[in-house]
Chain A
Amino acid sequence: MTRRANPVEKAARLLDLVPFIYTHQGISISDLAAEFSIETEELLSDLNALWMCGETRFDLIELEFESGFVYIRNAEALNVVRSLSVQEVTAILFGLDLLKESISAERADLLLDIEIIKTVIGTPLQRLVASEPMISGGVIIAIDEALRKRQKLQITYHSVADDVSSERVVHPIEKRIENGVEILLAFCESADAVRSFRLDRIHKSELVQVAASQTSRVQSGVIESVTIKVHSDIRRVFETLGILTPGRGNTYTVDIYNQSWLIREVLASGGAIEVVEPAALRAEIERQAALVASQYR
């Protein structure tokens, strides 16, 4: 159910309905409601309101819609299409940029048309609005939620190398940007290993619901709980490791799926993250840091 418009939003829509009905005389109530993305009931309320409007109280707009089809007369003063608002232009510009991403290079005519539209409708705004290689918002929201809740995710992934799309169940570990490309690092059930997935190639993502019990924690691929201490860069650590359960002082507990990933993350943090427990993992990190350092002796 969509939110009901406030009086100002409703007034704006009433103003826009008039020229629309003029160029679409006889449109059905349901089609008209769909054009304005509102419920039929709300459209009827709009039409009833519009019916009470006019230049003077004795010279009202004439509307006919009892038949289920809408006709308008005597509203010449309002039969003017209003200029697009900044919000409307912004929404369209973002949509066009997104659209561009899904048009193949062979349709140069469409790509040219998009540039023309942007100039025609958006000239003053173009420099205020920008979208770079965009990833479907729905995909992102599901991934973020999965990371937050440490839940499994079902994704449809397009592998460019083989040019096939496949369905996989993954356990998200983290989202990271590698050389400007956003990557989801996740434990993939079908590969039985940690894989990185380019976000722009994930076409669909849905949470796989699991009960939040100890068994499901094991099933969802969590291999161990690690206690870490955060020395600096705390926002980045939070955003990288996902949910951290606060412990004593600046220590936190984090559930991990894959040790090798955590080790790389601790190394990359350059000292911002310290693993407190388990001791074996702590020792392994020290060993690896020493190994890398030994290359410079």
Chain B
Amino acid sequence: MVSRKSERLVNLTIALLATGRWITKSEIYENIEGYSGEPDAKERMFERDKEELRNLGIDIEVGTFDPLFEDEVGYRIRPENYRIQISELTPQQLALISSATQSWRGAILGSKASAGLAKLKALGIESDVDGIPINPHQLRNSDSNLAKVIDALALRKTISFDYRAADNTNENRALEPYGVGTKNGFWYVAGNDLERRAVRLFRLDRVVSEVKEQGRGASYEIPESFSMHNQLQSQTRKYAAQLLVRKGKAHQLRKHADLKESEHEWDQLEYHYSDVKELVRELLWHRDDVQVMGPLEVRESLLESLHLIQVHHD
């Protein structure tokens, strides 16, 4: 059975690709093996096959080939739409792609990566592997939700999933995915959150259910201005705080700070930050090795946190 369906899909592709004209359903049923049974059954089979080929990215056009018979539509695949548009890659470039696909070996996108590489190799370009002495890192992500998100993104289908919220409860979210990315070892999907009506970023390891596709493909447009890269950028450190940091301590803090003055056992730093809450967290982590002089808001927030800790542990 498995094989017969695959054969039917291949034969349908050949028929639609080889013809220089529109071909009708009746011609398809007549010439392609596998379309059998009642007219309704054939119809359903064809509709499904057509949808599945489209999901593979094969563009099947529908049109009328004879103005006198408007009710009878024809189908075809234009070779120029089917064919890969890449013609020039150097052997070194192909070798780089080959190394890139190696990263996925055994991981969730492994078969996609090697299928892509096989297509490029089918162009007949030789690969110069010796030119690149690289041992690529391995991407051993086996989260099947990553593949599902990418599939949905490819077809522009809405997805839904349960997400672990900040209060550790699970919330169901519906999302039009716009992009996927990875940063610091975590994988993310960004998209239009249908309930909140805004672009939101989700960490895939916080998705606690299977990602499910909803509805039809091409159901939304990705805004021209969207950039996954920008989504993953941390907020800019646009504020400055004045800190006293004990000499030789709190090296992590010093990376985002300018040294202003140095006296006795303390360094005076100007520290750049984006969020008060996160800054207070960083400062508290460094205990009494750090004092914040300003802004007042940070100082107050820090003292409030300390007060709360003392109350809890009194």
Residues of A near any B CB (own CB < 8 A): 2, 6-16, 19-20, 22-24, 35-37, 45, 48-50, 52-57, 77-78, 80-92, 94-96, 98-99, 101-103, 107, 109-110, 113-114, 116-117, 120-121, 127-141, 144, 177-182, 199, 229, 231, 233-236, 238, 264-271, 274-275, 282-283, 285-286, 288-293, 295-296
Contact = CB atoms under 8 A, between A and B. Distances in A.
A84 B162 CA distance: 31
Contacts of B13: 11, 15, 78
Contacts, number: 362
Given A35-B121, A91-B110, A131-B183, 6 more contacts: A7-B1, A19-B122, A99-B96, A116-B93, A129-B228, A292-B306
Given A81-B83, A85-B56, A99 B136 contact: yes
B136 A137 contact: no
Contacts of A233: 166
A113 B96 contact: yes
Given A136-B138, A182-B184, A296-B291, A130 B229 contact: yes
Interface in B269-310: 277, 280-282, 284-285, 287-288, 291, 299, 303, 305-310
B83 A80 contact: yes
A82 B83 CA distance: 5
B105 to A, nearest CB: 8
B41 interface: no
A90 B291 contact: no
A270 B138 contact: no
A297 to B, nearest CB: 10
A62 to B, nearest CB: 14
A283 to B, nearest CB: 7
A261 to B, nearest CB: 10
Contacts of A81: 83-84, 119-120, 122-123
B185 interface: yes
Interface stretch (B67-75, B174-182, B192-200): B174-182
Contact of B137 (A56, A113, A134): A134
20 contacts: A23-B121, A35-B121, A80-B17, A82-B84, A85-B112, A94-B103, A102-B137, A110-B96, A113-B93, A117-B89, A130-B181, A130-B227, A136-B138, A199-B184, A234-B166, A235-B206, A268-B284, A268-B285, A292-B284, A293-B307
Nearest to A78: B14
Interface of B: 1-3, 5-7, 9-11, 13-15, 17-18, 31, 33, 52, 55-58, 79, 81-86, 88-90, 92-93, 96-97, 99-105, 107, 109-124, 132, 134-142, 147, 150-151, 153-154, 164-168, 178-185, 205-206, 222, 226-229, 231-232, 234, 252-253, 255-256, 277, 280-282, 284-285, 287-288, 291, 299, 303, 305-314
A133 B119 CA distance: 28
What are the nearest 9 A-B pairs in CB distance? A95-B100, A88-B116, A271-B308, A86-B154, A270-B305, A138-B140, A11-B9, A77-B18, A7-B5
A270 B280 contact: yes
B193 to A, nearest CB: 17
Nearest to B16: A77
A86 B1 CA distance: 28
B224 to A, nearest CB: 9
Contacts of A56: 31
What is the interface of chain B mostly: helix, strand, loop, or mixed?
helix
A296 to B, nearest CB: 6
Contact of B103 (A9, A78, A99, A121): A99
Given A77-B17, A81-B122, A286-B310, A54 B11 contact: yes
B85 A83 contact: yes
A139 B184 CA distance: 12
Given A7-B2, A264-B287, A88 B139 contact: no
B136 A80 contact: no
A295 B185 contact: no
B168 A130 contact: no
A130 B185 contact: no
A16 B84 contact: no
A110 to B, nearest CB: 6
Given A8-B55, A95-B100, A179-B256, A137 B307 contact: no
Given A85-B57, A271-B305, A136 B137 contact: yes
Nearest to B187: A137
A61 to B, nearest CB: 9
B274 to A, nearest CB: 11
B93 A117 contact: yes
Contacts of B3: 7, 10, 45, 48-49
A238 B168 contact: yes
A49 B8 CA distance: 10
A51 B111 CA distance: 23
A107 to B, nearest CB: 8
Contacts of A20: 118-119, 121-122
A289 to B, nearest CB: 4
Contacts of A275: 313
A190 B231 CA distance: 40
A235 B119 contact: no
B194 to A, nearest CB: 19
Contacts of B226: 127-128
